[in-house]
Chain A
Amino acid sequence: MNVQPNIPFGMTDRPLIQISGLTKEYESRDGSRIQALAPVDLEVPDREFVCIVGPSGCGKSTLLRLLAGTLTASAGQILLSGAPVHGPSGQVGMVFQSPSLLPWRTVEANALIPLEIQKLDSRKYSQLSRELFDLVGLSGFRKKYPGELSGGMQQRVGLVRALIHDPSLLLMDEPFGALDAMTRETMNLELLRIWRDARKTVVLVTHSIPEAVFLADRVVVMSARPGRISEVVDIEIARPRRLEMMTSPEFGALVGRIRRHFGAQGRLDA
């Protein structure tokens, strides 16, 4: 799968992501400062699947955008493969809450956008492109337009687009939030399969605690105002994960443990 691995396998013990003392403040309209993110420290090893859960306004999306380099930190720093993040980088792929596809481009032309933007030779990536389309089951839809696809299919195109330039880190901002429950479960299973095959590090933000527990190696629980990490929960459920595992007592206990964080300050929205 890895056409050009960014880090040769086994070459580093360093975590892929090292976040230390990271804060983000916004200035509101009346000039007062709003702290969106209290100092946050987090390390994510290579090829780990991390989910971030928390209520609205807990800064989880802010954290994701700081990782993507589209926001600048007020203090602290993020190291990605040891290098500080200043602005967007080719090492990162992102899947957004809405599919964010360009309606005037074919499915394939949409997926190839990162290569086009970063002026990478698309011929070198054509093998990877074929594999990714096979992986998400959209090989027959490459010449279609986004308007002809269902919501779940559009989000899959977004996933191919996020992986097309072979980034080491995949960021996902509530990627399946707009899908119906059935499609969502299918997409979760597919995502785990892709993660296993593509051997990427994934940071996924979600509103849904069961979804986080189902997907993650570790769940980062955040709380609001200011956004900070309240707990990092290790999920030691065997892989590959299957939907019926969601009814096991172990699964229920983990969900319950995470949910307790939000009992005190109201419920998690959605």
Chain B
Amino acid sequence: MTSIIPPTPVRPVSWVARALRLPDLWSRILLLGACLAAWEAAVSVFAIPELLLPPPSRIGAALFSDLTSLRLLRHAGVTLTEVLGGFALGAGAGLALGCLLGRFDWLWRLSYPYVVAFETVPKVAIAPLIVVWFGFGVNSKIVTSALICFFPVVANTLSGLRTTPPELVEMMTTFKASTGQIFAKVRMPHAMPYVFAGLEIGIVMAVIGAIVGEFVGAQAGLGFMILQRQFAMDIAGVFSILAILSAFGIVLNVAIRRLQYTLVFWLPRSGHG
């Protein structure tokens, strides 16, 4: 299936990479190294206290000890469970609601004021309530995470279903297709790229949701660890967890893109990475 995808255009190499005669990956690593070096130098030259801004070398050491400690891996596992659980729940429900609203126009007209009203509530503001309702354990974080990644998926699914080219619908109608057949055979597949755009936003939102949930009240997880280290004035340790969370986001995002390239194989790939 992947063989039909037009070859990815040769990625334009940045002028930095050209000037340095290096491939993009190496110039990126070089950029990171330069920034870290400047950071390290600034902290040392201006004698910034470690409590305000620890030098990268200290963060690196903290990260190394975190990655080799079972205790932190356990916390990471908790957060990952929350993120994946919340994403599965929120994206699944979002896809289902988007499909229902797109498929049955009367349902959309009946409910859209409430959908929009619910959408505009800042989900972060409900997080304390959710901890009250679902407890301090993993469940309340899954719910927060699900709530926050739900709407991008609903909105994108709907706009995908809505933008189905009318000539394709007319073609189906001419050949005697029912509304349900048009939905299943044309509108749903057409909406897939939009759904994936929603999922890409959704997975990032799911991470935010889980961390917010842990901030409000938790006994485990990376968000919980951030708070603990902050109280213990272990700022390098906080940065170390931020780096781990960022790695989470990148891995999950890449996983979604991979899935998209497999399922939405008829569109040329876009973007970088």
Q: Which residues of A contact B (CB under 8 A)?
A: 68-70, 87-90, 92-94, 96-98, 100, 102-104, 113-114, 116-118, 144-145, 147-148, 165
Contact = CB atoms under 8 A, between A and B. Distances in A.
Contacts of B175: 88, 93-94, 113-114, 117-118, 165
Interface stretch (B45-53, B164-172, B240-248): B164-172
B4 A96 contact: no
A92 B266 contact: no
Main secondary structure of the interface of B (DSSP, over half): helix
B4 A117 contact: no
B167 A100 contact: yes
Interface residues of B, number: 22
Given A147-B266, A148-B4, A100 B173 contact: no
A102 B186 contact: yes
B132 interface: no
A197 to B, nearest CB: 22
Contacts of B185: 102, 113, 116-117
Main secondary structure of the interface of A (DSSP, over half): loop
Contact of A117 (B6, B170, B176, B192): B176
A70 B170 contact: yes
Given A103-B267, A113-B185, A117-B172, 4 more contacts: A87-B176, A100-B168, A102-B189, A145-B266
Nearest to B169: A100
Nearest to A171: B174
Contact of A118 (B165, B171, B176, B264): B176
Contacts of B174: 68-70, 88, 92, 94
B181 interface: yes
B200 to A, nearest CB: 20
Interface of B: 4, 6, 165, 167-168, 170-177, 181, 185-186, 189, 192, 264-267
Nearest to B176: A88
8 interchain residue pairs of minimum CB distance: A100-B171, A103-B266, A114-B175, A88-B176, A117-B177, A94-B174, A104-B266, A104-B189
Contacts of A100: 165, 167-168, 170-171
B5 to A, nearest CB: 9
B171 A96 contact: yes
B226 to A, nearest CB: 43
Contacts of B267: 103
A118 to B, nearest CB: 6
Nearest to A103: B266
Contacts of A116: 185
B168 A102 contact: yes
A98 B181 contact: no
A228 B31 CA distance: 71
A174 to B, nearest CB: 12
B97 to A, nearest CB: 24
B193 to A, nearest CB: 10
Nearest to B263: A104
Contacts of B172: 113, 117
A97 B170 CA distance: 12
A145 B189 CA distance: 15
A89 B4 contact: no
A1 B4 CA distance: 33
B161 to A, nearest CB: 15
